[in-house]
């Protein structure tokens, strides 16, 4: 990343972190993915049950493997799980010691936006885990709620449709048409205006493009 853009982005993240704190979230800014990953591993320690919300940011940072190697138990759904096993896995993740996920957008005024096909991640980031850590790269920053929803539907959702090899209209047109396809993966929106009162949430903002 060009140095002046990197410096500008860092200021944007610092301003966003201040807005998140005003909305009662804990927030921290990291200059790189590696520094964020190191901080997360230190926070997690060992011997924890850690739920994962299917985040490409978590995958890009290699956190699942690093957390498991540190002696933690990873709880996440896997391809090929039958419906009942998947359901029990989602519920176990929601009751984890630490839950990791990534929003599709973080707004400059400190709101967090998630779009899901099933809602398991949306449920977990509202309530359940003892500690929730949400990781977001600079690419996730949006001006406001409207832009954040647009980004979630027209960038993140389409990229995930392509990754999952879904045959939904957006993969052909490159834009969300609010389809009624049975394979649609954006059925539920979770919008955190403020931190839910009973939840402990840390937002880690990272000065790199990460995930979708």
Domain CATH for 15: 3.40.50.10420
Report the percent of the chain where pLDDT is more than 70. Answer: 100
Distance CA 193, CA 155 (A): 21
Structure confidence at residue 97 (pLDDT): 98
Question: Mean pLDDT over all residues of the chain?
Answer: 97
Closest alpha carbon to 151 in 96, 206, 105, 89:
105
Q: Considering the domain boundaries, does residue 18 fall inside one?
A: yes
pLDDT-derived band at 14, boundaries 50, 70, 90: very high
Distance CA 107, CA 20 (A): 9
Our count of domains for the chain comes to 1
Q: Considering the domain boundaries, does residue 106 fall inside one?
A: yes
Distance CA 187, CA 198 (A): 25
Q: Considering the domain boundaries, does residue 173 fall inside one?
A: no
Q: Considering the domain boundaries, does residue 25 fall inside one?
A: yes
Distance CA 166, CA 56 (A): 17
Distance CA 165, CA 9 (A): 32
Give the domain extent around 94: 3-145+191-206
Q: 106-120 pLDDT, tens per residue?
A: 999 999 999 999 999
Structure confidence at residue 86 (pLDDT): 95
Q: Considering the domain boundaries, does residue 51 fall inside one?
A: yes
Q: Considering the domain boundaries, does residue 161 fall inside one?
A: no
Distance CA 61, CA 66 (A): 9
Structure confidence at residue 61 (pLDDT): 97
- Beta-ladder partners of 28: 204
**Quick one: how many helices (H) and strands (E) in the chain?**
9, 10
Check: CB of residue 43 under 8 Å from CB of residue 201: no
Q: Considering the domain boundaries, does residue 131 fall inside one?
A: yes
pLDDT-derived band at 54, boundaries 50, 70, 90: confident
> Which pair of tokens denotes residue 58?
């978590």
Q: Considering the domain boundaries, does residue 178 fall inside one?
A: no
Closest alpha carbon to 88 in 78, 103, 101:
78
């Amino acid at each position: 990343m060009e140095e002046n853009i990197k410096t500008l982005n860092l200021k944007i993240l610092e301003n966003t972190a201040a807005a998140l704190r005003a909305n009662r979230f804990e927030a921290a800014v990291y200059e790189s993915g590696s520094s964020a990953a190191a901080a997360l591993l230190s926070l997690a320690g060992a011997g924890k049950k850690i739920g994962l919300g299917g985040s490409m940011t978590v995958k890009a940072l290699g956190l699942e493997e690093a957390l498991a190697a540190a002696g933690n138990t990873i709880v996440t759904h896997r391809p090929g799980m039958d419906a009942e096993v998947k359901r029990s896995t989602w519920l176990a993740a929601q009751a984890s010691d630490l839950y990791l996920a990534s929003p599709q957008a973080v707004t400059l005024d400190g709101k967090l936006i998630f779009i899901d096909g099933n809602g398991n991640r949306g449920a977990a980031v509202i309530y359940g885990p003892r500690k929730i850590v949400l990781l977001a790269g600079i690419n996730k920053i949006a001006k406001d709620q409207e832009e954040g929803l647009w980004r979630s539907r027209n960038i993140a959702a389409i990229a995930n449709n392509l990754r999952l090899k879904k045959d939904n209209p957006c993969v052909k047109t490159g834009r969300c048409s609010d389809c009624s396809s049975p394979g649609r993966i954006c059925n539920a929106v979770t919008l955190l205006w403020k931190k839910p009162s009973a939840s402990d949430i840390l937002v880690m903002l990272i000065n790199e493009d990460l995930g979708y």
